[in-house]
Structure 1
């Protein structure tokens, strides 16, 4: 069968598009799945729960979370937006002084899959700069929406970031978050995990703060009952380092 030059060109264009999609989106996504699998195993082997909080700081909920953690001698990991950190530097300072992790979560919460590469990279870098100026840890980075592209993946590696994924998502940023019982059962089955929560005062509705604080209390009680450790990312990293060495 004769194939003309036009057909060959279409084939090469199609192949190029497929290669671009794989490199730009699928390769980082596959890497993320691999990293999450390792993180889940690390938590399970250590019997560890890591409480993480995105999109803060905010005036009320961030402080209330900190007080609940401090009351129980627990360290959490907060991933702040640069745009919020500059508005609540006193909250950032207090959380840092209490010994909790402070990582960065971009400046304006752009989505890597829906933004131009240079726009998203600038947003990540600006967030890093604003949060670290206030005492945050440059290394600890939580990608917005859990999305990375080839550009943000390589940028993070070059900057020395630890991509701080999660293994359990209560969906607290939605109007109908998961029931407490489902989340506690998932922690129990996996013997730990990294929990994704958000420390915004009001979204998605006025019940958000009560939901988050109630879930934290439930996790604390489960950890005491099942002899699980509640750690920050830094503390989990220390366990991982000691086990490797």
Structure 2
């Protein structure tokens, strides 16, 4: 596993102040996010589990997956969750030209807007860079186009195959009020996620937290 901190150091926000790393709040609120879906093998299970706790989340969707699974994308919205853009094919910004990144984002956004049923999602234009990798010109272009670039303050590492589910849970429970937590609705992450998410939701619900979308 590469060395990446679970909790994003506070000074990172100083270097990238135009990106969203946390959500200041005077209430006990945690902002839950899922990347890479919709995925039929795991997204329905996630939605069922969120419903048990009346929890909401933001789903940063891959455009190609929206095309393949429009009914599942529709269900995410019907159950009150927020939608974000995660590019059309999950491209790495560090390995992509500005032109390629623009096209990837625009195609994904067209797919999102073509399948939106909730007008509140159309106004938000949230974006999360795949792998968290984005260049300054890409970021500037996105902001100029009206996107809010959402990063995170808690990274659960649920996708790491060598990470035990118990350690994944421990990482996720470092979240505090205002934190933005990253999970993945992908097959790769499902081993850890199916263990961690129910316990995460139970733990924070019992502590009086509201779990919400952005």
Which interval holds the TM-score relative to the shorter structure?
0.7 to 0.9
SS at match of 1:113: helix
Query: Is contact 2:159-2:192 (8 Å) kept?
Result: no
- CA separation in 1, counterparts of 2:33 and 2:138? 21
Q: How does 1:28-43 map to 2 (within 5 A)?
A: 30-31=15-16, 35-36=20-21, 39=22, 42=24
Are the structure 2 counterparts of residues 60 and 232 from structure 1 closer, same or farther at C-alpha, using a change threshold of 3 Å? same
Q: Residues 43-100 of structure 1: CA distance to partner in whole angstroms, max 9, x if unpaired?
A: 5x43211111101011121111011111221111111100111000010011111111
Equivalent residue number for residue 179 of structure 2: 193
Question: What runs of 5+ residues in structure 1 fail to find an aligned partner?
Answer: 1-26, 234-245
* Correspondence 1:183 to 2:172: yes
| Alpha-carbon shift at residue 232 of structure 1 (Å) | 0.8
- CA separation in 2, counterparts of 1:52 and 1:191? 15
SS at match of 1:90: helix
* Correspondence 1:129 to 2:114: no
| Alpha-carbon shift at residue 158 of structure 1 (Å) | 1.6
Tell me the C-alpha RMSD between the 2 structures.
2.3
Equivalent residue number for residue 242 of structure 1: none
Pick one of 216, 219, 223 that aligns with 2:204: 223
- CA separation in 1, counterparts of 2:194 and 2:113? 27
Question: What runs of 5+ residues in structure 2 fail to find an aligned partner?
Answer: 1-11
* Normalised TM-score (structure 1): 0.72
* Correspondence 1:99 to 2:85: no
- CA separation in 2, counterparts of 1:163 and 1:71? 29
- CA separation in 2, counterparts of 1:226 and 1:170? 20
- CA separation in 1, counterparts of 2:198 and 2:97? 40
SS at match of 1:195: strand
Equivalent residue number for residue 149 of structure 2: 163
Q: How does 1:38-77 map to 2 (within 5 A)?
A: 39=22, 42=24, 45-77=26-58
- CA separation in 2, counterparts of 1:28 and 1:50? 17
Are the structure 2 counterparts of residues 34 and 81 from structure 1 closer, same or farther at C-alpha, using a change threshold of 3 Å? closer
Segment of structure 1 superposing worse, 166-175 or 85-94: 166-175
Equivalent pairs counted in the alignment come to 195
Q: Greater relative contact order (Cα 8 A, min sep 6): structure 1 or 2?
A: 2
Q: Compare the two structures and name the one with the higher helix fraction.
A: 1
Query: Is contact 1:28-1:153 (8 Å) kept?
Result: no
* Correspondence 1:173 to 2:149: no
After superposing on structure 2, the runs of 4+ consecutive aligned residues of structure 1 that deviate more than 3 Å are: 32-35
Query: Is contact 1:121-1:151 (8 Å) kept?
Result: no
Q: Residues 12-69 of structure 1: CA distance to partner in whole angstroms, max 9, x if unpaired?
A: xxxxxxxxxxxxxxx9992159742xx16x15x4321111110101112111101111
Equivalent residue number for residue 8 of structure 2: none
